[in-house]
Amino acid sequence: MIWQENVTSIVMLTNLTEGEHAKGSHYWPNEKESLTFVVVFVDLAEEKTYAFFTKRKLTLSHKFQNTRVITHYQYTAWPDYGRPEPLSLIVFHQHVFTARNKKKVPTVVHCSAGVGRTGVFIALDALYQEGKKTGKVNVAEFVNRMRHNRVSMVQTYVRFVLEQYMVIYLALNEIFKAPIKVKSVTEFCNTMEKMSSSKSAANTRFLHDEYQLLQKLCAPCKTIDHRTRHKNSKGRLENQFPLVCKHGQHLSAILPKEDNYTNIVYFPSYTNARSFIVTHYPTQEGAVNFLRMLIDHGSNTVVCVDPLRDIDSMKSWLPVERSSKVMIPFILHCQSTSKKHSEGHSINIRDHQQGDTEHTLAVYGPISRINPFGMPQNRLELLRLVSDVIDSKPDSPITVVSRDGTSLCGVFIAVHNVIQQLTIDSYVDVFTVVRQLRIQEPNLCNSIEEYEMVYRTVYDEVQTTTRQL
């Protein structure tokens, strides 16, 4: 069918298995493998993994004809019996249809049965195009038209029909309020050069407009500063602020009467949906629970946004080079303190409660304090910190910590993610990267100064990379 209809793109909206159910066949080859379907041969030419989807280039060769290239997009973040994050779905949609085929050949869209998620995606695309042209959409009418052509579109089991129908509204709401607009490296540099070379308000207006739109889309929550935490009726210190409950992950073993880390939230990188954990520095009494949280969530990397020497509570548990500390039930030994550009410690943690199991931890911090109001040296410190973490290629969640659990954490993650975006796709979209973080925690990048720092630090990275080339 793909060959006959001259298809160039396939959109797959399911994983191969979800729960205990098989959802589809692995009809594309793995790397360095080939598949044969009678007279059609399929090879994997390229595969890119993103936080919420995978993009593949497949080479199709016909025994009696020529060779074609097919792009295969697989959305991997649609929960079984649930609805996807609307923004993640429109980011996926943007990747699929950035360069629409001028020949107007059909795009194949499928899920498992080819009606539920498939109908949602087709409706999202068609209604978005209609909305751009006419300024209005009619979701019910379009879904009804689809069902005349294919029974049960936008439908699964009865209790989930509304879930899928809502996804169309929620995704359209996100994309119409703020469409995704990516910039090529050249466009991004031209924009930043205009902003830097002129004092005209018009050249910086775009930054303020974007930030104000972010504020409307992701209203910040009220936070309680670390220094103003209060004790509850049992005399225990309360956490600074409640993180978004729907994203929370619970700690399996919490020691009493100390800080607890029950509201752990995962944040995406550009390539992994669960790359970051954001929280606050532990108190001296809460260091054991902080370590337990790292072990429970398999985090082997801690990034402090302040110099390690300036964080008093870190000194209570972080050993100096070639020394050890006992934090019952843990024994911590510092193996080394050398990093390329930033301050760092390589720590070995032994857990006596778990049969002397070992956990290796890399702790990073800037050499000097990073101030979003400061000079270019502050951006250089941030960029060095991000570069060291990227170069270390961590294969587990990165825990980013600050005094209040938000300040500069979003800046670090956003710069990290945009640099990944540059490396993989050679374009820049700071707004969407920050927007995805703020959907989960609206207090990240919650000042125009931090937002501008992301832009300027990314520009510094582009300039550095260009000079090196």
For the annotated catalytic residues, the residue numbers are 111
Q: How far apart are CA 397 and CA 388, in angstroms?
A: 15
Q: 78: closest CA among 34, 45, 124?
A: 124
Q: 207: closest CA among 407, 461, 417, 448?
A: 448
**Edge-to-edge strand order for the sheet containing 9-12?**
34-37, 40-49, 53-62, 67-75, 9-12, 108-110
Lookup: tokens for 74: 């697989």
Lookup: tokens for 380: 């250089």
Q: How far apart are CA 388 and CA 373, in angstroms?
A: 23
Lookup: tokens for 248: 């929370």
- 67 and 61 in contact (C-beta within 8 Å)? yes
Q: Which residue has the tokens 């595969």?
A: 47
